[in-house]
Amino acid sequence: MPGQARLRDETLREELLAMGSRPGDPRHADRLWGILDDYEAWPGLRLVGEDGERAAWLIVQLGDADLQRRVLPHLEVAVDQGDANPSHYACLLDRVRMSEGRPQVYGSQFVVHTDATLAPWPIDDPGGVDQRRFRVGLPPLAAQARDMEHHYRVRGVVWGRAWIA
């Protein structure tokens, strides 16, 4: 890898990349539980590189709520140490809060209503959401809403999953 520091675990990186090609596979979520047990930390940038860290995040995003809650504090520590993408933490925090029925912080999670409209899950302090999004590297909420609408209406997918009407 020219221009990058040597990763601590290239084998784990390759495994995560392979798992990330099918992030919704429940076996991959189970394996991520094992990785968290083995390392007692989030598989971050220094351990598995940017692409490996992103693959792990995709697996968590599509994993069950228990895995998401378990990962959240590990990912927060990794972000605080500059070892993970802050937007990954923001999206996961929103997803966990949504699964708990609470308003999200960053407005990253959208839902399809019964009338087939797409809208963000309720947001805590919506007036400050774009400032919070900016701090973690997310685009303004209006830009994400346009992108989500495009994926939903034109391509029929949101986050890689086909929506069935």
Per residue of the chain (165 residues), give pLDDT as tens.
Answer: 444 556 689 999 999 999 999 999 999 999 999 999 999 999 999 999 999 999 999 999 999 999 999 999 999 999 999 999 999 999 999 999 999 999 999 999 999 877 778 899 999 999 999 999 999 999 999 999 998 888 777 766 544 444 433
Distances in Å between the Cα of 59 and the Cα atoms of 51, 88, 133 are 13, 12, 22
| DSSP summary character for residue 123 | B
Can you give the pLDDT at residue 116?
A: 76
The pTM assigned to this predicted structure is 0.86
pLDDT at 115: 78
Per the CB < 8 A criterion, the answer to whether 43 and 56 are in contact is yes
Report pLDDT for 163. Answer: 42
Phi, psi of 161 (to 5 degrees): -110, 135
Domain locations in the chain? 1-84, 102-165
